[in-house]
Amino acid sequence: MRAIILAAGLGLRLQQPVGEQFPKCLLRFDGVTLLERHLQMLDAAGVDDVVLALGFLQSLSHVNARLNFGWLGERIFVSPSFHRAHHGILAAGQRSCNYGSVFSLWDQLFGTADFNRAYAPTGDPSANEKLATGNYLEQQWMGLRRFAATIARA
């Protein structure tokens, strides 16, 4: 049996002493963290496969860059190269893949992982090529120009 633990909360609203700030899942009650307590309960219930959903790296998957994390890294974390196939022009209206935004394990569990190294074309074919192939500053500048043009037409 499988389970998912949502463990993304940082506990910022909790009044924790300076130097003793922990994410919520690592807070201790009676000497046991919340995460340990949940894992123990899941184990007692016969769950043998647990996925932790953490709250970091989620925006990195949408960076428009040819960045991958290597064979092993791609099977753990979602890189821009991995997630790009999800937004590919060829995926629109078809069976898509690589939905995960942090962990590729989601796609592996649900059979939607595609580790193909091909760099899928994405975006709007009518957009300036710099949005797809420019460096970071060129991409940002072209995005701002396109945004301004859209606002001017409105």
Query: H helices of 45-135, where?
Result: 70-74, 80-84, 105-110, 130-133
- CA angle 79/80/82 to nearest 5° reads 65
Residues 132 and 121: beta-carbon distance below 8 Å:
yes
The pLDDT assigned to 41 comes to 94
The pLDDT assigned to 43 comes to 93
Instruction: Return d(Cα 51, Cα 8) in angstroms, integer.
Output: 12
How many C-beta atoms surround the C-beta of residue 102 within 10 A?
20
Sign of CA dihedral 16, 22, 26, 32: negative
Question: Stretch 135-153: mean pLDDT, rounded?
Answer: 81
Domain regions of the chain by residue span: 2-53, 60-110, 124-154
Written as six digits, the tokens of 68 are 């991958």
Instruction: Return d(Cα 97, Cα 149) in angstroms, integer.
Output: 32
The pLDDT assigned to 37 comes to 92
Kindly tell me if the per-residue pLDDT of 56 is higher than 90: no
Better pLDDT: 19 or 1: 1
Write down the mean pLDDT value for the chain: 78
Predicted TM-score of the model (pTM) = 0.43
The pLDDT assigned to 77 comes to 84
Kindly tell me if the per-residue pLDDT of 46 is higher than 90: yes
Residues 15 and 62: beta-carbon distance below 8 Å:
no
Residue pLDDT, tens place only, 71-100: 888 888 888 888 777 777 666 556 678 877
Helix or strand or coil: residue 9?
coil
| Per-residue pLDDT band at 47 (split at 50, 70, 90) | very high
Written as six digits, the tokens of 7 are 């463990």
Question: Stretch 111-127: mean pLDDT, rounded?
Answer: 74
Question: Stretch 106-118: mean pLDDT, rounded?
Answer: 84
Instruction: Return d(Cα 17, Cα 9) in angstroms, integer.
Output: 17
Query: H helices of the chain, where?
Result: 34-44, 70-74, 80-84, 105-110, 130-133, 136-153
Question: Stretch 95-117: mean pLDDT, rounded?
Answer: 82
